[in-house]
Amino acid sequence: GVRVIFRVVLLIFAIYLVLGLIVDFAVPFIPPAWEDSLATPIMSEVFSASEPSRHFSVDKIQQLLDSLAELMAGEKRKFYINVIDKDVTNALALPGGHIVVYSQLLEQVTSENELAMILAHELGHFAARDHLRGLGRSFLFFIVANFVLGGQGDTVKHFMNSSGILQNNYSRKQEFAADRYALDLLVKKYGHAGGAVDFFKRLASKETLPQLTQYLSTHPASDNRVAEL
């Protein structure tokens, strides 16, 4: 009855916490080649849901991204811009150095500095390997839940076809850390951080979520991000 359901939920939650610790420990040791091997199936899933944008030129955005990536500490790697037509104000950091930017976000950007801040923020997630932490947790949890609940079939295939892989919901702590990383990268590139908060200020003026909803959200409210920056 209710006790059994409660125990199952408690067990799954405990497993999720343990898996999170395992993933956090393992992520720093994941070689880039292994990460790159995930890029093809994941990007196939991205483009199966929507086509690349025909309204925005990728070349200039790619040049801006390349200039920011050159300023990152550590071993240099290539990052790739993918622009998709979608009514979502968001960008994603995905394995293989892929950054997906939705067209609605680009439509609201009014300066190079604003776009640089957004791209640098995603580079911050790469630097901390947040994209692999979220992906690893989701994948391991999916496997365990399938096993516990008696799921059958090709686990990897079902996981790749699920929308959860594309959500990349980071914790508010990770988001703030990526913002601070982006701020430092902007100063390295321009010698100042002008325009870094302009985009978030405009988003904040449009956000009307109750405080409790903002607290439960993984993404910090835009006005909180502005204050932190």
| pLDDT value for 214 | 41
The widest CA-to-CA distance across the chain, in whole angstroms, is 63
| pLDDT value for 116 | 96
Global confidence as pTM: 0.76
Q: Is residue 119 within 8 Å of 66, Cβ to Cβ?
A: no
| pLDDT value for 140 | 61
Residue pLDDT tens, the chain, 229 long: 678 888 877 887 787 677 777 777 777 777 777 777 777 777 777 776 666 777 788 999 999 999 999 999 988 899 999 998 888 888 989 888 999 999 999 999 999 999 999 999 999 999 998 877 767 666 665 555 555 555 544 544 454 444 344 445 677 888 999 999 999 999 999 999 998 999 988 888 877 654 433 433 445 678 888 888 8
| pLDDT value for 164 | 47
Q: How far is CA 81 from the centre of its chain?
A: 14
Q: Is residue 95 within 8 Å of 135, Cβ to Cβ?
A: yes
Q: Please name the residue that has the structure tokens 């071993």.
A: 75
Q: Please name the residue that has the structure tokens 């086509």.
A: 51
C-alpha separations of 78 from 32, 70, 184, 197 in Å: 11, 9, 20, 26
Instruction: Report the sign of the C-alpha dihedral through residues 168, 169, 170, 175, in that order.
Output: positive
Which residues pair with residue 81 across a beta bridge? 99
Q: Please name the residue that has the structure tokens 């930017």.
A: 101
Which element (helix H / strand E) includes 168?
none
| pLDDT value for 213 | 39
For 188, residues 6+ apart whose C-beta sits below 8 A from its C-beta are 71
153: left (phi > 0), else alpha (psi -120 to 50), else beta? Answer: left
Length of the chain: 229
Q: 91-94 and 98-102 as β-strands: parallel, antiparallel, unpaired?
A: antiparallel
Other CB atoms within 10 A of residue 143 CB:
15
Phi then psi for 110, rounded to 5 degrees?
Answer: -115, 0
